[in-house]
Amino acid sequence: AQTVTQSQPEMSVQEAETVTLSCTYDTSESDYYLFWYKQPPSRQMILVIRQEAYKQQNATENRFSVNFQKAAKSFSLKISDSQLGDAAMYFCACYQGAQKLVFGQGTRLTINP
Amino acid sequence: GAVVSQHPSRVICKSGTSVKIECRSLDFQATTMFWYRQFPKQSLMLMATSNEGSKATYEQGVEKDKFLINHASLTLSTLTVTSAHPEDSSFYICRLGQLSGGYTFGSGTRLTVV
């Protein structure tokens, strides 16, 4: 069975600094996708960034970037120039096949002003 | 990207009654919709997969007769919690299945059973 592990239940960072959220996964699929979702207090799930496993280049979306290490099955999220609005729960997810997503336990990110 | 409208956002119902939650795909043909449940401070747990025009498939441990799913059209999937009890109180959220749809989530429904 696929598993996604986020080993950091909580993280905090000073505003304008950089923070990295960790995620490891295990899958038997040869082709898969990885995602980071943000869930603010409203509980709306917002897609932050997506990585196709066949692509070697790390995905980037403005201040958000990933460090995708396929051999190590690691998929960390880096948030640069942290802003107060980045405070939320962040979930790492792996496409399981049949369009299913497996989610990690989540990391609660706090931004200190 | 695709937009999924979920209603209601909040509902309070009495124990023993049924509640229907709707997820509507506004601009994308939703052949597949996933339904999740999320308890406070926990991750999303997949409950079932609804497929347009066919029976839903349920994850292990999810009661089919309690959580009725209907996906009669390409734009609408519904989850009905039947004979609700306080332990069914949770946050329910749907997700569009197709990757080309961006794996978009609905805005969620907070169900409280009193």
pLDDT confidence of B100, banded at 50, 70, 90? low
CA distance B38 to chain A (A): 10
Per-residue pLDDT of chain A (113 residues; tens, 9 = 90+): 789 999 999 999 999 999 999 999 998 888 889 999 999 999 999 999 999 999 989 999 999 999 999 999 999 999 999 999 999 999 999 987 777 889 999 999 999 99
Of A44, A47, A98, the CB nearest to B103: A47
CB pairs under 8 A between A and B: 45
Per-residue DSSP letters for B55-87?
Answer: --EE-TT--TTTEEEE--SSSEEEEEE-S--GG
- Three-state SS at A25: strand
Q: Which helix (H) or strand (E) holds B21?
A: strand B19-25
Confidence (pLDDT) at A97 = 73
pLDDT, tens digit, 9 for 90 and up, residues B15-63: 999 999 999 998 888 889 999 999 988 999 999 999 988 899 999 999 9
